[in-house]
């Protein structure tokens, strides 16, 4: 018989690839220090923030981007070794880096949300298709009631009870011409 159960969540993502991306980016920037200008090294940082956002949770990616830009300011922006900025263009560079990194992070989060919604929609469509096939395969309305009761129990994660009205031979009925399909509590009986 077909299963109509709930889908298992698969939202866990490994954190180590993001950490590796940040480590490689910092190794490249430290290796290129003095050979390339500040704007080109800033592009490496923005690229690493975008790539690390693929594996990071949004809040972790936002925090890592902010921390990386502060560290970039401390390590590479004159005056080095301080969090102050001498030139307005360097301040604009830092603000732009942070803004672009955060926009990419938020776009990745939105992309993940849309992908999860599309997956859930496809899963619901498949569940409805399976239910339709099972209902079409049932010979009598009583069999259809059993299929529906089982599907509702599996989707709801607990017991479901249906009250079927008798009409045209729907199995054994009580005095009202109705019968229960599924577990019945004493209050319902």
Provide the β-strand partners of residue 33. 36
On average, the pLDDT of the chain sits at 84
- Beta-carbon neighbour count of residue 13 at 10 Å? 12
Q: What is the pLDDT of residue 9?
A: 46
Which of 182 and 85 is assigned the larger pLDDT?
A: 85
Q: What is the pLDDT of residue 8?
A: 44
Which pLDDT band holds residue 23 (cuts at 50, 70, 90)? very high
Q: What average pLDDT does the segment 8-26 reach? A: 81
Exposure of 44 by Cβ count < 10 A (0-12 exposed, 13-18 middle, 19+ buried)?
Answer: middle
């Amino acid at each position: 018989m077909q299963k109509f159960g709930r889908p298992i969540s698969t939202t866990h993502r490994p954190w180590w690839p993001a950490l590796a991306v940040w480590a490689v980016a910092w190794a490249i920037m430290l290796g290129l220090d003095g050979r390339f200008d500040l704007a080109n090294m800033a592009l490496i940082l923005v690229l690493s923030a975008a790539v690390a956002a693929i594996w990071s949770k949004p809040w972790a990616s936002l925090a890592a981007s902010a921390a990386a830009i502060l560290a970039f300011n401390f390590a590479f922006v004159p005056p080095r070794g301080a969090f102050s900025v001498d030139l307005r263009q360097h301040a604009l560079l830092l603000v732009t880096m942070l803004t672009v990194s955060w926009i990419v992070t938020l776009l990745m989060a939105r992309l993940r949300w849309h992908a999860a919604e599309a997956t859930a929609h496809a899963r619901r469509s498949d569940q409805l298709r399976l239910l339709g096939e099972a209902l079409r395969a049932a010979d009598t309305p009583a069999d259809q009631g059993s299929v529906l009761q089982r599907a509702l129990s599996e989707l709801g994660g607990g017991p479901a009870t249906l009250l079927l009205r008798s009409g045209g031979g729907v199995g054994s009925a009580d005095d009202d011409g109705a019968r229960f399909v599924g577990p019945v509590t004493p209050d319902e009986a």
